Amino acid sequence: MKMALKNKKPIIGVPVNHTPATENTSALFMTAEKYARVSMEISDTSPILIPAFGKETDFETILNTIDGLLLTGGRANIEPHHYGGQEFPADEIIDPQRDATVLPLIRGCIENEIPVFGICRGIQEINVAMGGSLHYRVHLLPGKNDHRMRRDTEIQAERFALRHEIALTAGGYLHKLLGKKTTKVNSLHAQSINQIATGFSLEALSPDGVIEAINLPTAKRFTVGVQWHAEWRASEHSLASKLFAAFGAAAHDHAKTYR
C-alpha cells in the first residue's frame, strides 16, 4: 500500500544489548519491550532498535536518522578502561560491543543537539562517555546502602517497586519539572556515578548520597540521565511520565528543525 510520507513522528534510537555466540547458540541483540513502548506511548515518538555492532556501526547514518537517543538498562557493566577504573573480576558480565556502540553515539548526539535520555546503565553511559567515572559496587562503599535488585523474589512488580526517596536539587531541572523537592523511586543497580562528567549538574541524591540523576544544562535539547528504572510503569509515576514527555517534546523539536 502506497502511503503519503508526511507528518512522521520523531525517531528514537534504542541501542540494544549484545550476547556473544557460543558453540550452541547464535549471537543475540536484545532489549526489553518496555523501553520502546514507553517512548511510543508517552514520548509520542517512533522507536527503532540500534544494533550493537561496535566499531562497525554506521554512526553518521544513525545520527542523521534519529531525533533522540534512549539508553536502556542492562545486566552488563561498562568496562572500566573507559573511565580509568580498576579491572573487573573475571566473572563480571560485560558488553564491549554495546560500550563501543553507545559511547560514541552519546558524544555524537550531544555534539549534534540530539536529545539523550539515559536510564540505569544509561546514566552511567552518559557520564562515562563525557569523561566521568563510576563506583564499581555501591554497597561496598562506607555508609552506602545496597541498591541492587531484590534477590528474594522473581516477581517483576516486587523487584521494580518503589524503594527509597530521592532529594531533587533545589532549582534544578528535575525539581522544576516535578514541582516537588522529593519523590520515591525503585532501585536495581550495583554501580553508580562517582565523579560527574564536566559540565553536568547533579539533579538528585538518594538518602545515602548516591547520585540518582544528572543533567547537561548547557545542552540545547534534553540531555538527562536517571539511575532508577523510569521506564517501569512510567505513566503511574509523576516524575517519570514528565521526563518521558519532556524527552518526547525535545525529539519533536529536533524533528521539526532537521527533518
Catalytic residue, candidates 79, 109, 120, 175: 120
Catalytic residue, candidates 231, 237, 252, 254: 231
Catalytic residue, candidates 135, 229, 252, 254: 229
Residue in the block written with cell 567515572: 133
Active site residue 254: no
- DSSP letters along the chain, please? ------SPPPEEEEEPEEE---SSS--EEE--HHHHHHHHHTS--EEEEE---GGGS-HHHHHTT-SEEEE---SSBPPGGGTTPPPPPTT--B-HHHHHHHHHHHHHHHHTT--EEEETHHHHHHHHHTT--EES-GGGSTT----SPPSS---HHHHTS--EEEEEPTTSHHHHHHSSSEEEE----S-EESSPPTT-EEEEE-TT--EEEEE-TT-SS-EEEESS-TTTTGGGSHHHHHHHHHHHHHHHHHHHHH-
Active site residue 165: no
Residue in the block written with cell 542523521: 64
Active site residue 109: no
Q: Looking at the annotation, which residues are catalytic?
A: 120, 229, 231
